[in-house]
Every structure is written in structure tokens, then in C-alpha cells.
Amino acid sequence: MLVTSAQQSGTRELLVRAALESGLEHVVLEGPGTVAAMAGRAVHWYGGPLAADRVAARLGLGLLEPADAWLAELPEGFTGRRIELTTLSEAWAGRRPMFVKPPGDKQFPAAVYADGTRLPRGGERIGPDTPVLVSEVVTFAVEYRLFVLDGRIATGSRYARYGRLDVAALEQDPEEPAVRAFAEELLSSRPGTVPSAVVIDVGRIQDPDTGAERWAVVEANMPWFAHGYAARPNLVLPVVLRSAGPRDQVLARDHRFLRPTA
């Protein structure tokens, strides 16, 4: 059974259609009654982390997510920029432009901030100890989203050029061979550092002085809370199912990537 949040999105609708075509049932999470009715069922999840955290324990869900430090620990040859995992309180002290994002959940917008004083303070889900990734400001000329299962690219999509939405299926993009070559080099050189089902975004950084471009990792994400853009839904679905399914079926190698449950 595929359980989804009530929030409408194009990706959700495409995944639901793919799930139904594959023989899965679909249920929309509408409240406590929905959770009670699914007790004891083997369920998978697609939706936001807030809703997932409320129901994961009761539904026996095992939610996979990349480690917060994964991006910061990559060699600069893969990132093309300096990246640090720190806390929001440390980032508040910054006095120069920086790109700041939460490593997993979207507690506040990932964006370029003029300095630390522009970062959010307070709120229900953020505080001084909230982990954040801080990097120098770069320009991505083009960005791609890759759905990865067992270290192999299942499907993907271009999603942006120079920070603006520009969507095309990976299989229809002339850069597909270069995208795959870079991602495969990354995955083969860092085995076991991401869950067996994960989303990895890559792109080309443009040098502001010379205009030269180089491939780099943008970030890693949770498939169960990722837009598919123009990726093939029937190939996205197995990645989502593996990343958010029955906790007692989680592969041993993925146990360290399990999201804590309330």
C-alpha cells in the first residue's frame, strides 16, 4: 500500500498512477482514523517529513535519509566548492554572503543570504542547534536530479538552468552521458555512504571569471520527499518504495540511514 499526504503535487499524482498500475493500493493520509485503519498493513510513504514523523512509528515505517554530513565530507573535487556542516547559531555569526540550507528537512528556504543576520531565528522547528550546510556562493549553469537505487541511476531529470526551472527527461537531454559518467564516478568512489535508495542532484558550476564549467554535486535528498520533475514515474516508484517502507524490511546496510521515529 502506498500512503501519501493530502498535499497535492504533480509528482504525487504520477507516483500514485504508477503505484496503482503496479498493483499497489493507494490511501491518502487524512487523519488519525486513516492511521488506525492501516494498523498491521505493510505500507510505503510519499509525502513531507512533518506528516511522516507523526505516523512513522504507528505505521512501522522505515524512512531512509542521507547523513547530514555527507555533502560536507565529499572531496572538493566532487563538490567544486567549500562546504561546512555547522549549526544555525554558528551561521548567524557569518559576515559575508553564503549559501545556507538545512541538510534534510526544509525547515527554512535554502538560499543565498547576504550575511548571518538574514537567517531565520526562532520558530517551532528551528533553533540555535539546528544543523545547516554552509557553502560559498557559486552559480550552477544546469542542474539534474537522479533517482538512485543500489548504486545505479534508475531515472533522472534536468530541473534548472541558472537557478530557474527548466525541466526535461534525462533520457532526452544531450548531456545525459556526461551526467551519468560524473554520477557513476561519484557513486563508485563513495560506496555505502548513501542509502540504497537516494536522490542525488548534480550540475555544472560556472566559473565567474572565465566562464569555464565543471561538474559538481548539488546535494542528496530523500526520495520519499522529492519532486520527480520529468523523471519516469514507473522508475521513480521503486526508489521511493525502498526509501520509505516497512521498517522490518529495511536492508541491514541501510539501518544507519534510518530517520529517528518519535
Tens digits of per-residue pLDDT, 182-228? Answer: 999 999 999 999 999 999 999 999 998 888 999 999 999 999 999 99
Residues 6 or more apart in contact with residue 7 via CB below 8 angstroms: 47, 48
CB 196 within 8 A of CB 254: yes
DSSP 8-state class, residue 40: T
Residues 6 or more apart in contact with residue 21 via CB below 8 angstroms: 234
β-bridge mates for residue 100, sequence order: 111, 134
The structure's pTM equals 0.94
Instruction: Express each pLDDT in 94-147 by its tens digit.
Output: 999 999 998 877 778 889 999 999 998 876 678 898 999 999 999 999 999 999
Residues 6 or more apart in contact with residue 125 via CB below 8 angstroms: 105, 107
Give the per-residue pLDDT at 243.
98
Residues 6 or more apart in contact with residue 25 via CB below 8 angstroms: 1, 2
Residues 6 or more apart in contact with residue 5 via CB below 8 angstroms: 12, 28, 29, 46, 47, 48, 51
Q: Give the 3-state secondary structure of residue 195.
A: coil
β-bridge mates for residue 200, sequence order: 146, 220
- Tally of CA atoms within 13 A in the half-sphere of 41 that contains its CB: 16
Instruction: Express each pLDDT in 187-196 by its tens digit.
Output: 999 999 999 9
